[in-house]
Amino acid sequence: MARQKVTTGYSANGLPYACIGDGTRKLVVFEGLDFRHKPPSGMMLRMSTGYLRGLTNDYRIYIVSRRPGLPQGYSLKDMADDYSVMIKNELGGAVDIIGVSTGGAIAQHFAIDHPDLVRRLVLAMTGFRLTDEARELQMKVGELARKGKRRAASALLATAIIRKGAGKHLFRWFMGLMGPFMIPGDASDGIVEIEAEDRHDLGDRLDRIKAHTLVIGGEEDFFYPVRETAAKIPGARLVLYPDLGHNAMFARSRQFGEEIRAFLLS
């Protein structure tokens, strides 16, 4: 991935993105929870795109966040509508979509409301709602960020991403260290996202998703009911990694990417 040429910028309607890959197909990745709303770069880009290595020959891949300056009360549906404007106006129509974590929650709204813009859909480490425990934790993260306690906010998120194993304490320390880089002094955009996802529940609407869908993640995901999400989408394919949680994409990066590639190119 480090050898790939990366271009960054903002769409005409203000969505920050990084673009990699040399293929003729188009793939848009809706990123997970993001406090910065800037084009991903450097270590953060490498961390979040390792699983995409096998797709860069076939695809032009756009890793896209939300626009900066989100107003209070902005919903995940509103964010999905922003993506639709970019994809329709700048990418020319239907593309493959990968929605990761919070980005996957947005991608569900997108697939329901803009079916003409989705060729194939991957929902990675995400679900039709947050678990009750995850909702409570994320609101605590938002409150810590609001108070400027960026290291504590980032470290708290880490406790839910890797919940067992020898590496959980090291990961929490690392995420705490990265807090000031991941969460800006003005954390309002991330807080708006957290509050929007707190209201997210598409349990009674997932049967409206018509795109071929892959749901993939860890069997012990703290944040989302992954298995139940797949069961609610007509014809969805489910891939679960046992003994893994919200870290599945990182812990099984190669296998994760292979599953996604096989699905998208089938």
pLDDT tens track for 38-96: 998 887 788 778 899 899 999 999 999 999 999 999 999 999 999 999 999 999 999 99
Task: Report whether pLDDT(190) > 70.
Answer: yes
**In a domain? residue 105:** yes
Q: Tell me, what CATH number does 253's domain have?
A: 3.40.50.1820
**In a domain? residue 115:** yes
pLDDT at position 68 is 97
Task: Report whether pLDDT(130) > 80.
Answer: yes
Task: Report whether pLDDT(97) > 60.
Answer: yes
Least confident of 23-37, 88-102, 169-183, 208-222: 169-183
Domain count within the chain: 1
CA distance 184 to 6: 23
Q: At what angle do helices 168-182 and 150-161 cross, to 10 degrees?
A: 140
Task: Report whether pLDDT(248) > 90.
Answer: yes
Annotate 42-52 with b (16+ C-beta within 10 A) or e (fewer): eebbeebbebb
**In a domain? residue 52:** yes
pLDDT at position 219 is 96
pLDDT at position 49 is 83
CA distance 60 to 171: 31
8 A C-beta contact, residue 69 and residue 192? no
Angle, CA of 88, 238 and 108, to the nearest 5°: 30
| Beta-sheet strands, E only, within 65-191 | 95-100, 118-124
Task: Report whether pLDDT(250) > 50.
Answer: yes
**In a domain? residue 114:** yes
% residues pLDDT > 90 (the chain): 89
Token pair belonging to 70: 């989100």
pLDDT at position 1 is 43
**In a domain? residue 154:** no
Angle, CA of 54, 57 and 60, to the nearest 5°: 105
Task: Report whether pLDDT(2) > 50.
Answer: no
8 A C-beta contact, residue 225 and residue 131? yes
CA distance 45 to 47: 5
Among residues 121, 120, 135, 122, the alpha carbon closest in space to that of 225 is found at 135
pLDDT at position 3 is 58
Banded model confidence at residue 24, pLDDT cuts 50, 70, 90: very high
pLDDT at position 59 is 97
**In a domain? residue 175:** no
Among residues 107, 19, 21, 35, the alpha carbon closest in space to that of 70 is found at 35
% residues pLDDT > 70 (the chain): 98
Which structural domain, as residue segments, surrounds residue 125?
7-130+201-264
Eight-class DSSP state of 2: T
Least confident of 35-44, 54-63, 135-144, 244-253: 35-44
C-alpha 227 chain-centroid distance: 17
- Residue indicated by tokens 């996802």: 197
Among residues 105, 110, 112, 107, the alpha carbon closest in space to that of 135 is found at 105
Task: Provide the mean pLDDT of the chain.
Answer: 95
pLDDT at position 38 is 94
73 burial type by CB count under 10 A (0-12 exposed, 13-18 middle, 19+ buried): exposed
Q: What is the pTM of this model?
A: 0.95
**In a domain? residue 64:** yes
Mean pLDDT, residues 102-117: 98
**In a domain? residue 225:** yes
8 A C-beta contact, residue 256 and residue 171? no
